[in-house]
């Protein structure tokens, strides 16, 4: 448990990048007569609503020499227009009518996320600040939750080792239902033709396979002898990062350069593909979850009336998804405890409400697939500086246009723990 | 829905045959109450319509890719051979590939993508992210990242008309509560 103490959960905000440096956007402002402020602001809100700048106050109030001075934002400035006097045609009559003198100035582009950031913003133009109401922040996680989260991250990390194949560690994904605390699906990268873990039961009893598929000695830089244990022990995250070359999300374009010709000797499994450049761990896990769904609920015609009744209930109660979910859970629990056969109600819509644990931050393909599949929370341990989509290169959770937004957390795991979890071939799954 | 064209000549865009893509496959999807992402069918690439209500990641592009890869693996092509062939392939699709599909197409190293209408919510070829220009985003030489050429607005009106018809009909696979499904008599 001491080990768990050092683990840490970091919420990766779904806001555009955070720093005290204020991102700004240019607007046209003008001083106005305080007496006219009311009607000017009302008209401007109609003429030029500041839809994407709701955090910005329309009016700035200053006191100079005991006199109140007001200036008002007229509209966004055209960023390509060099001429500072240029005013959109739509509000030219308005400006003439009130005899205004527009000048350019800057305002904060995004709402502040911290008090410090807000104070910085207000130095250039007043904004409003609403402390985060994000109900998925780390602060709301109970000790029990944390324990569960760490546990499943360990499961995921151990799984990278279990599919230790071709001297390479693979990414691992575990989809978990946080309510029942059960694993819904799990998977490893399957972009590599040598992979021998396409059986669904691969998670269990993999040790043999692990040994069996371990490395010809020459492919490992640090190998002294042919003893596999030596090979494994000499593996170090720091010393040989090429051991990560097989992690699909880190090196998505490397599939074409993988060892050739060996797949012919592979026994073909029920799986259609012996290798597939897009079968990253997250995508395979989604597929496995869908497969489970199909098996558990073979009748696809979900009882309409029942689910509609449930939906009506949910829809009218609250708009906050977490509350809705709680209510949904309560209803489902009640149904289960009543021992009714209404299993249709429990059928998940895609992966709604489920969490996914990934050892490496996903690439944009996997991250977007998780949006489509309506995952609730993503936990990853290691950032993906190459092409990470959840903070490192892109920040998909901050794209407002998407129809679903998950919460993203990075679990900072001490390096030695990762090494231990990946390498320790003795059974340590009973931790936590 | 989708279509691949193995690039054979230098005409680049749509030939007369290219206009045959249209509504047949998309209408089929429409009848099966799936989202009609339309089809340019070349090379006999043609997969069944997959139920999106169980796995929302089975987009037309992904189906097309799987069909191709399966076919080529059956023939016994190795990764290098598959990569070479993909780099000679163009994709025609009614709607701009989403971020997931655009990344996938870049990973595969496809040559060109032609699409009908833009996808202003999920588009990965310029609307939201520009994954076809991924080489510009990543530091040079950091990865063997591949972008691809992209041309939107191909027969856009027809693409939009198909989608409009689908959504007027109502998507029975959308999460409930949602608009009720109506039978759209004009889809035949």
Question: Nearest 5°: phi and psi at A125?
Answer: -165, 140
pLDDT band of residue A153 (cuts 50, 70, 90) is very high
SS3 state at B100: helix
The answer to whether the CB of B134 falls within 8 A of the CB of B147 is yes
pLDDT at A328: 53
Q: Is B70 a catalytic residue?
A: no
Active-site residue, selected from the candidate residues B61, B70, B88, B96: B61
According to the model, what pLDDT value does residue A331 have? 53
Model-wide pTM > 0.90 = no
Task: Kindly give the interhelix angle for B99-108 and A364-372, rounded to the nearest 10 degrees.
Answer: 150
Rg (CA), chain B: 17
Per-residue pLDDT tens over the stretch B149-170: 999 888 888 878 877 776 676 6
Interface check B57 vs A, CB under 8 A? yes
The answer to whether residues B153 and B5 touch, using CB atoms and an 8 Å cutoff, is no
How many CB atoms are located within 10 Å of the residue A168 CB?
Answer: 22
Q: Name the residue among A127, A137, A100 with its Cα closest to residue A13.
A: A137
Tell me how far apart the alpha carbons of residues A291 and A373 are, in angstroms, rounded to a whole number. 13
Q: In this complex, which of B54, B56, B128 lies closest to A399 when CB atoms are compared?
A: B128
**What distance in Å separates the CA atoms of residue A273 and residue A193, rounded to the nearest whole number?**
9
Whether the pLDDT of residue A423 is over 90: the answer is: no
Tell me: pLDDT of A330 over 80.
no
Nearest to A368 among B98, B134, B143 (CB): B98
Instruction: Give A34's contacts (C-beta < 8 A, 6+ positions apart).
Output: A68, A69, A70
Identify which of A253, A264, A273 has the shortest CB distance to residue B143: A253
Q: Where is average pLDDT lowest: A158-172, A334-348, B60-74, B98-112?
A: A334-348
Q: If 0-12 CB within 10 Å is exposed, 13-18 middle and 19+ buried, where does residue A371 land?
A: buried
What are the pLDDT digits (tens) for A28-80? 999 998 889 889 999 898 888 888 888 899 999 988 888 889 999 998 887 77
Cβ contacts of A350 on chain B, cutoff 8 Å: 53-56
**B91 contacts B36 by C-beta, under 8 angstroms:** no
Q: In this complex, do B107 and A255 lie within 8 Å of one another by their Cβ atoms?
A: yes
**Burial tier of B182 (Cβ tally within 10 Å: 0-12, 13-18, 19+):** exposed
Instruction: Compare CB distances from A307 to B102, B137, B176 and report the shortest one's residue.
Output: B176
Contact yes or no for B144 and A254 at CB 8 A: yes
| Nearest CB to A373; choose among B56, B76, B134 | B56
Phi–psi pair at A410, nearest 5 degrees: -105, 135
Please judge whether B100 and A252 are an interchain contact, meaning their C-beta atoms are less than 8 angstroms apart: no
B145 and A387 within 8 Å at the Cβ level: the answer is: yes
DSSP A171-221: -EEEEEETTTTEEEEEEE---STT----SGGGGSS-HHHHHHT---GGGST
* CA nearest to A373 within chain B: B56
- β-bridge mates for residue A408, sequence order: A12, A378
What is the residue whose two structure tokens read 């000017």? A40
Once rounded to an integer, what is the mean pLDDT over residues A383-402?
Answer: 92
pLDDT band at A367 (very low <50, low <70, confident <90, very high): very high
Instruction: Return the number of other C-beta atoms located less than 10 Å from residue A340's C-beta.
Output: 10
- Give the CA count within 13 Å in the CB-facing half-sphere of A302: 25
- What mean pLDDT comes out for the span A148-171? 80
Q: Let me know: does A347 contact A302? Beta carbons within 8 Å.
A: yes
pLDDT for A426: 41
A131 exposure class (CB count in 10 Å sphere: 0-12, 13-18, 19+): exposed
Class of residue B30 by CB neighbours under 10 A (exposed 0-12, middle 13-18, buried 19+):
buried
- Is A290–B124 a contact, with Cβ atoms under 8 angstroms apart? no
Rounded to the nearest angstrom, the minimum Cα separation between A282 and chain B is 11
Best of B49, B52, B54 to disrupt the A interface (most A CBs within 10 Å) is B54
Number of CB atoms found within 10 A of residue B157's CB: 10
Helix, strand, coil % in chain A, rounded to nearest 5:
40, 15, 45
Q: What is the mean pLDDT of residues A203-231?
A: 36
CA nearest to A327, candidates A342, A309, A313: A313
- CB count in 10 Å sphere of residue A218: 9
Task: Report chain A residues whose CB lies below 8 A from the CB of B176.
Answer: 307-308, 311
CB contact under 8 A, B138 and A374: no
State how far the Cα of B97 lies from the Cα of B105, in Å rounded to an integer: 9
CA of B16, closest CA in chain A: separation in Å?
33
- If one compares A135 and A353, the residue with the highest pLDDT of the two is A353
Mutate to test the interface with A, among B34, B76, B103, B171 (most CBs of A within 10 A): B103
d(CA A152, CA A411): 11
pLDDT value of position A71: 92
Q: Are A15 and A399 in contact (CB under 8 A)?
A: no
pLDDT, tens digit (0-9, with 9 covering 90-100), for B1-17: 344 443 332 223 333 33
Residues of A in contact with B134 (CB under 8 A): 387
pLDDT category of residue A333 using cuts at 50, 70 and 90: low
Would the pLDDT of A95 be above 80? yes
**Residues of chain B with C-beta less than 8 angstroms from the C-beta of A401:** 120-122, 128
Q: How far apart are the first and last CA of chain B?
A: 18
Looking at per-residue pLDDT, the higher value among B51 and A275 belongs to: A275
**Best mean pLDDT range from A7-16, A104-113, A258-267:** A104-113
Buried b (16+ CB within 10 A) or exposed e, A301-325: eeeeeebbebbeebeeeeeebeebb
- CA-angle at A155, arms to A150 and A156, nearest 5°: 95
Task: Tell me what ipTM this predicted complex has.
Answer: 0.74
Q: Which of B172, B161, B121, B174 is nearest to B27 (CA)?
A: B161
Alpha-carbon torsion, ordered A331, A335, A341, A343, to 10 deg: 30
A391-408: burial string, b at 16+ Cβ within 10 Å, e else? bebbbbbbbeebebbbbb
CA dist., res. B49 & res. B57, Å (int): 13
Q: Decide which of A339 and A73 is more confident.
A: A73
Question: How far is it, in rounded angstroms, from Cα A289 to Cα A186?
Answer: 8
- Residue B186: pLDDT above 60? no
């Amino acid at each position: 448990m001491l080990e768990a103490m050092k683990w840490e959960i970091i919420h990766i905000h779904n806001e555009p990048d955070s720093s005290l440096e204020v991102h700004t956007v240019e607007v046209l402002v003008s001083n106005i007569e305080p007496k006219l402020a009311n009607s000017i602001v009302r008209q401007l809100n109609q003429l030029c609503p500041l839809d994407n700048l709701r955090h910005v106050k329309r009016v700035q109030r200053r006191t100079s020499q005991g006199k109140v001075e007001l200036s008002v934002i007229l509209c966004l400035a055209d960023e390509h227009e060099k001429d500072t006097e240029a005013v959109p045609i739509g509000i030219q009559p308005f400006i003439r009518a009130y005899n205004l003198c527009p000048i350019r100035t800057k305002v904060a582009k995004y709402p502040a996320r911290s008090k410090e950031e807000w104070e910085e913003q207000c130095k250039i133009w007043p904004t409003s600040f609403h402390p985060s109401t994000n109900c998925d922040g780390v602060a709301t996680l109970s000790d029990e939750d944390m324990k569960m989260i760490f546990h499943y991250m360990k499961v995921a990390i151990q799984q990278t080792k279990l599919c230790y194949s071709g001297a390479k560690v693979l990414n691992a994904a575990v989809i978990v239902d946080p309510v029942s605390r059960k694993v819904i699906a799990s998977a490893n990268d399957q972009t590599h033709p040598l992979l021998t873990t396409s059986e669904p039961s691969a998670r269990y009893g993999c040790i043999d396979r692990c040994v069996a598929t371990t490395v010809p000695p020459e492919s490992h830089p640090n190998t002294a002898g042919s003893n596999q244990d030596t090979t494994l022990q000499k593996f170090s995250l720091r010393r040989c990062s090429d051991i990560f070359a097989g992690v699909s999300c880190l090196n998505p374009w490397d599939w074409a350069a993988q060892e050739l010709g060996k797949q012919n000797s592979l026994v073909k499994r029920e799986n259609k593909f012996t290798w597939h450049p897009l079968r990253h761990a997250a995508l395979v896990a989604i597929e496995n979850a869908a497969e489970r769904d199909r098996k558990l609920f073979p009748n696809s015609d979900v009882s309409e009336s029942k689910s509609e009744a449930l939906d009506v209930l949910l829809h009218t109660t609250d708009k906050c998804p977490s509350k809705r979910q709680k209510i949904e859970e309560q209803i489902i629990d009640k149904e289960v405890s009543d021992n009714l056969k209404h299993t249709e109600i429990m059928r998940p819509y895609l992966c709604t409400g489920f969490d996914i644990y990934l050892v490496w931050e996903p690439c944009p393909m996997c991250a977007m697939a998780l949006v489509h599949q309506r995952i609730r929370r993503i936990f990853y341990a290691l950032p993906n500086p190459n092409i990470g989509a959840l903070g490192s290169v892109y920040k998909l959770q901050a794209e407002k246009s998407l129809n679903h937004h998950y919460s993203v957390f990075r679990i900072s795991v001490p390096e030695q723990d990762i090494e231990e979890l990946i390498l320790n071939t003795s059974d340590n799954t009973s931790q936590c | 829905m989708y279509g691949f064209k193995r690039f054979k000549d230098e005409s680049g865009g749509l030939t007369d045959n290219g206009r045959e893509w249209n509504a047949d496959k998309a209408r089929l999807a429409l009848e099966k109450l799936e989202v009609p992402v339309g089809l340019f069918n070349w090379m006999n690439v043609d997969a069944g319509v997959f139920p999106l209500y169980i796995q929302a990641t089975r987009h037309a592009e992904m189906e097309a890719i799987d069909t191709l890869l399966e076919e080529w693996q059956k023939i016994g092509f190795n990764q290098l051979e598959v990569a070479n062939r993909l780099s000679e392939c163009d994709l025609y699709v009614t709607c701009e590939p989403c971020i997931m599909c655009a990344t996938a197409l870049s990973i595969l190293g496809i040559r060109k993508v032609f699409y009908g209408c833009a996808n202003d919510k999920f588009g990965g070829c310029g609307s939201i992210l520009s994954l076809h220009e991924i080489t510009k985003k990543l530091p040079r030489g950091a990865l063997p990242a591949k972008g691809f050429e992209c041309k939107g607005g191909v027969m856009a009106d027809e693409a939009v008309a198909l989608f409009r018809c689908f959504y007027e009909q109502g998507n029975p696979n959308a999460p409930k509560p949602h608009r009720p499904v109506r039978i759209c008599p004009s889809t035949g």
